[in-house]
Amino acid sequence: MPPSACWYPRSRHTGIPMSQPSAPDRRHIQTAITPGDPRHRLLTTAEAAETAGVTTACIRQWTHRGYLTPTAHHGKHNLYREDHVLDAERTRRAHRT
């Protein structure tokens, strides 16, 4: 089939025509991000410890035990969402009392 016979883009690797997407790709939809929103603020281990009022060893222990999950990594450093840190801190304090 000549290239002009198909208006769909072709795969670079196989040359086979790619199918047309059936639904809009939601990954490219821009959402409004408000500055300072804890859902979008990433913290290092030290910043997370300061926010939760615990030590960095405690944050690492919460991660090891599964109470807190890193959202991203910067090099070898874990980054945590601020709202997840605060939720984990509330949960741990509720179980302590």
Domain ranges of the chain: 36-97
Cα separation of 60 and 93, whole Å?
Answer: 17
Length of the chain: 97
Query: For position 92, what pLDDT does the model report?
Result: 86
Per-residue pLDDT reduced to its tens digit, 47-92: 999 999 999 999 999 999 999 999 999 899 999 999 999 999 999 8
| Domain 36-97 indexed as CATH 1.10.1660.10 | yes
Cα separation of 85 and 57, whole Å?
Answer: 14
Per-residue pLDDT reduced to its tens digit, 8-50: 455 555 555 555 555 555 555 455 556 666 667 899 999 999 9
Query: For position 67, what pLDDT does the model report?
Result: 93
Which of 86, 97, 94 is closest to 43 using CA atoms?
Answer: 86
